Chains A and B, each alone.
Chain A
Amino acid sequence: MDQGATNRVYKFSEIIADPAIGACWQKVRKYFFLRESTYDMSNRCNIRCEGCYYFNGEKQFAKENLNVSDWKHLMEGEKERGITFVVLAGAEPSLVPQLCQTCYDVIPLGCIASNGLNVLPREIDYRIHISVWGNDQTSLEIRKAKDMLARQMVNYQDDPRAVWVYTFTPVNIDQAREVTELLAANGQQITFNMFSSPVGYSGHLRHTPETLAHTRATMSELLAEFPQTVLFSPYNIVAHTHTRGLHDLFSCSYPRMNPSTAIGLGRSFRQYRTDLQWDRAAACCVPDTDCDDCRHYAAGSAVVTARMYRHATDPTTFSAWLDYVDTYLAVWVRGYEKSAPLCKQLIEPPDLVES
């Protein structure tokens, strides 16, 4: 399967007639009903990390609402307007487990972004994304917390909800191997994120073309060596380490960058602050991120996934897109099992292929 090797125009029906492609297509399309919104749960965190998305911009100053009835009412309203998947994030949701439980009781599909230093009750059966920013020495420097990985691994030992999210910064690229090896030895799983600068950030964590290339090579090695541990695909690697950011490559569909309210994320997505208010102008999965530098894993999960039509050009390109969606579902949805990649090559996003 060579992308762009011929000028042949494929019908969609021809592409999905391939048994492997067709099977994956049928597997992922069952989840097209997922409609997400995100929620800041608390304005507190038990650690303070350099470059944290939450403690940038206005949202950190929103009043905290700890009233369970108010949250239940919010969730019921969200369900009513068609939201089927919740992402509970900022600042540290594990500090308010009663609110997470309330969300789960109303909308049972979702994900919690946590630093993993507190254990969330098993009854809250969401996917749990545990953030890791390097080895424990680096975490101590950037996150001011001792023995983070060791503590996270103990807290979420044998917990099928947990997936570690390794955020690549220019200073921790070579530590990803050490972390992946530890998680693999412990039977745990990891996926990859890219540090994406908050608006106005010009510090040393901002990626450069050189660090993007270094990250790409490292991700490729780890994915090849630890296929059972690493939840990623070759096309994820391309999309998230490209010199052009996600918006430039795929046109971000979150409200912040998408004026249309007619359909899709532009219509349904909201990013609620801790006071249960939301602002369309700021609504995105990582508010206050510099859109030109955004390679965030959560953004890609929606932005790349939404661009199915443009990937349905040939079997290779569509396979790469299917791999991306399969990975997204495995990372975000409890119980979804990732398949082996259909496309093992690093292919360029469709609009960048020379005709």
Chain B
Amino acid sequence: MNTDISQTITRIAEIIINELKLEDVTPETFDADLDLIDEVGVDSMDLATIALVLRDEYGIRIDEDDYPKLTTIRIIAEYIDNKLKSDD
């Protein structure tokens, strides 16, 4: 796995755990392929909050229209990675 993506995945997991106050999971044990909506219970307002924290962290804009696509931590990490590359 790409190291940068791996770090991004861990950081996103950390943010989600912190914002949603999830228990019994750590950034290291959070399954990056878990469906955040169906399996974690993330809703649109949670996702908007997470998107704002990610905006602060990575300096990228996450379009509201893209929320439905951001279903797993891995997909979010790849989305961020692509945004950062396109900004280069």
Contacts and interface: CB of A to CB of B under 8 A. Distances in A.
B1 interface: no
B82 interface: no
A165 interface: no
A307 B49 CA distance: 11
Given A260-B68, A262-B71, A263-B68, A32 B45 contact: yes
A35 interface: yes
Interface size classification for chain B: 20 to 34
Contacts of A63: none
B12 interface: no
B51 A309 contact: yes
A307 B64 CA distance: 8
A33 B42 CA distance: 10
A73 interface: no
A151 B52 CA distance: 48
B33 interface: no
Nearest to A310: B64
A307 B44 CA distance: 10
A11 B56 contact: yes
A32 B64 contact: no
A312 interface: yes
A251 B65 CA distance: 10
Contacts of B53: 12-13
Interface of B is mostly: helix
Interface residues of A, number: 24
A2 to B, nearest CB: 22
Interface of A is mostly: loop
A29 interface: yes
B43 A264 contact: yes
A329 to B, nearest CB: 13
A309 B64 contact: yes
A312 B51 CA distance: 11
Interface in B7-51: 37, 41-49, 51
B43 A35 contact: yes
Contact of A29 (B49, B55, B64, B71): B49
Given A263-B68, A309-B64, A13 B56 contact: yes
B37 A309 contact: no
A32 B62 CA distance: 20
Contacts of A309: 48, 51-52, 62, 64
Given A262-B37, A309-B64, A12 B46 contact: no
A230 B43 CA distance: 31
A306 B45 contact: yes
Nearest to A10: B56
Given A13-B56, A263-B67, A308 B49 contact: yes
25 contacts: A11-B56, A12-B55, A29-B45, A29-B49, A32-B43, A32-B45, A32-B46, A32-B49, A33-B43, A35-B43, A82-B41, A260-B68, A262-B37, A262-B69, A263-B43, A263-B44, A263-B67, A263-B68, A264-B43, A266-B68, A308-B48, A308-B49, A309-B48, A309-B64, A312-B52
Shortest Cβ-Cβ A-B pairs, 5 listed: A264-B44, A262-B68, A12-B52, A32-B45, A11-B56
Given A29-B45, A82-B41, 18 more contacts: A11-B55, A12-B52, A12-B53, A13-B53, A32-B43, A251-B64, A262-B67, A262-B69, A262-B71, A263-B42, A263-B47, A264-B44, A264-B67, A266-B68, A306-B44, A307-B64, A309-B48, A309-B64
Interface of A: 11-13, 29, 32-33, 35, 82, 251, 253, 260, 262-267, 305-310, 312
